[in-house]
Chain A
Amino acid sequence: MEQQTLTSHSYLTFRLGDETFAASVNHVLEILELSKITKVPRAPHFMRGVINLRGNVLPVIDTRIKFGLDKADDTVNTCILVMNLESEKQKIMLGALVDAVQEVREIEQSSIQPAPSIGSKYRSEFIEGMVKVNDQFVMILNLALVFTTDEVSIIQETAEEKISIA
């Protein structure tokens, strides 16, 4: 048993645009259907707004924008991952909009390859590693870092495409 938990972890995979990402289930509390999101005016544009989660106010992040993708209309598949994140600075609960949730799967630790630091679209500190699932590369995210960073976007900044903070 112990051997197994050491070498294999459960990951939730979800889709954003054409890409598939995975995140450790330890951080994901639940998955919600899309409900009415109240916009907070004058907030950074990657913040979609707030929702009522059983009497508490939960901020919701538009993950597509955070990941540097174009804004897209919500579909029936769009849902909110409710996450509990801890970083060095803080402990927060938030929701993240994703295009679709796919599955929970066990991933062997040994099959995870380090993320390439060059040539990747995303900044390497946000990616824990890559794994090949059904001939497709899935990026395993460091959720706590991705969603607690002050940066607007997690894509690599180059001289030409400097991201301005809204």
Chain B
Amino acid sequence: MDSNQKRFVEDALDLLNELDEGLLQLEANAHAKAPLEQVFRTMHTIKGGANMFGFDNIGELAHYLETLFDLVRQGKTQVSDKLISITLQAFDKVRDLLKEKTFEAITRKDALYDHLTAVHAFHRTIDASLTGADLVTPAGNLKKDELATFFVNVTPLISMTEDGNHPLVFIVQDIAALGTSSVKVTKKQSLEIAQWEIFLSTTTSQAELESYFIFVEDESRATFTRLAAGDLFEQPEFIQYLKSVEDKPVNLDELRSVAGLHDDEAKKKTQQIEEEAETQGKRKVLNDTYIKVSKRKIDDLLNWISELIILQAQFANTASKLNVASLTDTTEQLDMVTRQLRDTSLEIGLVPIETLVTKFKRLVRDLSKTLNKKVNFLSEGAETEIDKDVIELMTEPMIHIIRNAIDHGIESPADRKAASKAEHGTVKLRAFTASSYVNIIISDDGKGIDKERVLQKAKEKGLVDAEAQLSEDEILNLIFHPGLSTTAQVSDVSGRGVGMDVVKQKINELRGHLSLKSLPGRGTSIHIRLPLSRSIIEGLLVKIGVSDYIIPLAAVDKCYEVPSKSLTPDGCQKLLLDGQPVPVFYLQEIFRDQAAIPEVMQVIKINYDEHPVGITVDNIVGEYQTVLKPLGDMYQRQEEFSGATILGNGAVALVLDTDKLVKQLVRQQQASLM
């Protein structure tokens, strides 16, 4: 593929995400104009690009689908489930195709044949109904109502957040786009939406406005008040009033009196306002602009900056030896600037997890349909940013978690009713950044994990002793054991071998952390903690013999000083740390460093699978933030080291992967006892 074709593939994949989003909105609200336009536009762009760069098969498919949606736009047919499904499936196939490596594979003639046939067949059914009788009134002939200003109060009856997938969110957006509008969202402490208060001047009639809410009647309450004829947004008093109620609930009587003042004179200006309403409808513009940069350039930049950090540290080292006042000043400033530079450049590589959220919305929709469950997907903090590589690596594990939540967690509507829960189950994704970690919490309000069954299963499979007494947490952690799948029946959705163990492993590889909570009947929540960047590591610099090592701070719990006499150099022993017996590994011996053992040794308590384990080092130098460099293929078997880093004095320090190190040591220990 040439560079233009590659760029088309990249762009098209982005566009397909937008398309998905638009189609889902349309599905939620078949009459919405904004998503229809968006879907149509996106398809048109894909078609144009595909034809220009020689992806004829994709261009052809996009063309026919575009034609279908054009019929919808002209009011000749309506959005139906069938139309949405056909379109989603067709573009899913296109997405798969675009992931092929070669141009030839993507443009295979027969690749999209099935979908083309489906589209044609569907088109014929529409044509047939059209020739029968012109049943659908063309949109243009509808008598436009006179311009009026409404106040709409929408109160959701189930919980939802603004970036969730509930149709109501889209409906409010659509309503707001019908004319000049001002939307006030009141949120509860939990960020769930308490109510929307919408001021809208539009030519749409009240009856039509009400029809928007037909499908969500059970889940929301909407009240409509016609305030006045004409556009109140033209009245300074009204604008002022809007400002005055920005942070308090609207009082209807007060509102009516403000509105009443201008009811009459406003009537005259209909024409002019209509134009304005149109421009207002298109006001969804982002205030930030973006540029597309190749990943390689960013990687190069980060590489240079990490070299700069190393050089800066070396420079500071030399400067402190010279001890010249003016130089020290400059070094300190240089240090600050380098840090700023590093932080800013690291941010460049971060992308919001929004792209993932769209994927998940789609997943939830598809899954709940196949499984006949009603699932409401909420997301919060979709703007949280994370390394692009991390997003890519996390997609599969998170899809797996969500699949599990819907397949095993959320009950069928009947079961939920029986348990006196809302028919709609909820899957919630919450993301936020705390210190240098991104936290992602995926929770559901389903039936929770059946601990009895997990334990029984584990015993059947011989993963734990039949007599073993396990704590609740220990039982829950069995979920992550390879070879344990709790579904009795392997369904199409989950339980196909890639289990939670793979999820946990992936997260460990990213130096992240995973924890799980589950309450019977109340649901399950999985908390994932990931480092912001894959290459920057916060660690503890320690010395063993002549070598320096970095222990990731995330793993470190506490440090103790222990006289060397109390330790025997053979393998592992138990030490009392804070009154608790903790197995301690004698790293000097394990790393076979010949250097003399100091009189006092440092024991670092680390968390290994929730169990405390100690490791010994000669001394602790201090905290150290550093750039992780790969050790290379020659050391791929040394899993206990996740990489190396260059210190300020130019020396190389190895970065320990404590999880893998302890795992190996434990295994050795067990082997030697046998």
Which residues of A are at the interface with B, using a C-beta cutoff of 8 A? 36, 38-44, 47, 49-52, 54-59, 61, 90, 92-94
Task: Name A55's contact: one of B634, B635, B646 (CB within 8 Å).
Answer: B646
Q: Please tell me if the beta carbons of A92 and B644 are within 8 angstroms of each other in the complex.
A: no
A94 to B310, CA, bound (A): 21
Q: Please tell me if the beta carbons of B638 and A50 are within 8 angstroms of each other in the complex.
A: no
Q: Could you give 10 example pairs across A and B, Cβ below 8 Å?
A: A40-B631, A40-B638, A42-B640, A43-B637, A43-B638, A47-B635, A55-B646, A57-B646, A59-B634, A94-B632
- Shortest B153–chain A CB gap in Å is 61
Q: Does B592 contact A (CB under 8 A)?
A: yes
Scoring B residues 631 to 652 as 1 if CB is less than 8 Å from chain A, else 0, what string do you get? Answer: 1111101101101101000111
- Shortest A84–chain B CB gap in Å is 12
A56 to B645, CA, bound (A): 8
Closest residue to B307 on the A side, CB-wise? A55
Knowing A51-B652, A52-B651, A55-B310 are in contact, say whether A43-B632 is a contact too (CB < 8 A): no
Q: Does B629 contact A (CB under 8 A)?
A: yes
Q: Chain B: interface residue count, which band?
A: 20 to 34
Q: State the main secondary structure of chain B at its contact with A.
A: mixed
Task: Name B632's contact: one of A36, A54, A57 (CB within 8 Å).
Answer: A57
Task: Name B630's contact: one of A42, A47, A57 (CB within 8 Å).
Answer: A57
Q: Does B591 contact A (CB under 8 A)?
A: yes
Closest residue to B652 on the A side, CB-wise? A38
- Shortest A37–chain B CB gap in Å is 8
A90 to B633, CA, bound (A): 9
A61 to B643, CA, bound (A): 17
Task: Name A41's contact: one of B306, B311, B590, B631 (CB within 8 Å).
Answer: B590
A47 to B638, CA, bound (A): 11
Q: Please tell me if the beta carbons of A39 and B634 are within 8 angstroms of each other in the complex.
A: no
Residues of A within 8 A of B640 (CB): 42
Q: State the main secondary structure of chain A at its contact with B.
A: strand
Residues of A within 8 A of B311 (CB): 55
Task: Name A40's contact: one of B310, B629, B641 (CB within 8 Å).
Answer: B641
Q: Please tell me if the beta carbons of A52 and B650 are within 8 angstroms of each other in the complex.
A: yes
Closest residue to B629 on the A side, CB-wise? A57
**Which residues of chain B from 625 to 674 have a CB within 8 Å of any chain A CB?**
629-635, 637-638, 640-641, 643-644, 646, 650-654
* Additional A-B contacts beyond A40-B638, A42-B638 (16; CB < 8 A): A39-B547, A41-B593, A42-B591, A43-B637, A43-B638, A44-B637, A47-B635, A49-B652, A50-B631, A50-B654, A56-B629, A59-B631, A59-B635, A90-B633, A92-B632, A94-B634
Residues of B within 8 A of A57 (CB): 629-632, 643-644, 646, 652
Q: Please tell me if the beta carbons of B654 and A40 are within 8 angstroms of each other in the complex.
A: yes
- Shortest A148–chain B CB gap in Å is 8
A55 to B653, CA, bound (A): 12
Residues of A within 8 A of B653 (CB): 38
Residues of B within 8 A of A90 (CB): 633
Q: Please tell me if the beta carbons of A41 and B632 are within 8 angstroms of each other in the complex.
A: no
A86 to B306, CA, bound (A): 26
A6 to B560, CA, bound (A): 67
Interface centre among A36, A41, A61 (most CB of B within 10 A): A41
A40 to B593, CA, bound (A): 11
A51 to B592, CA, bound (A): 19
- Shortest B263–chain A CB gap in Å is 73
Lowest 10 CB-CB distances: which A-B pairs, in order?
Answer: A41-B591, A55-B307, A38-B652, A59-B634, A57-B644, A57-B629, A52-B646, A59-B632, A50-B652, A52-B652
- Shortest A75–chain B CB gap in Å is 20
Residues of B within 8 A of A49 (CB): 652
A58 to B634, CA, bound (A): 10
A41 to B631, CA, bound (A): 13
Knowing A40-B635, A41-B592, A50-B644 are in contact, say whether A55-B652 is a contact too (CB < 8 A): no
A49 to B633, CA, bound (A): 13
**Which residues of chain B from 527 to 548 have a CB within 8 Å of any chain A CB?**
547-548
A43 to B636, CA, bound (A): 10
Closest residue to B627 on the A side, CB-wise? A55
A36 to B548, CA, bound (A): 12
- Shortest B606–chain A CB gap in Å is 17
- Shortest A29–chain B CB gap in Å is 15
A17 to B29, CA, bound (A): 81
Residues of A within 8 A of B631 (CB): 40, 50, 57, 59
A40 to B638, CA, bound (A): 8
Residues of A within 8 A of B638 (CB): 40, 42-43
Interface centre among A38, A44, A94 (most CB of B within 10 A): A38
Interface centre among A50, A59, A61 (most CB of B within 10 A): A50
Residues of A within 8 A of B629 (CB): 56-57
A38 to B549, CA, bound (A): 10
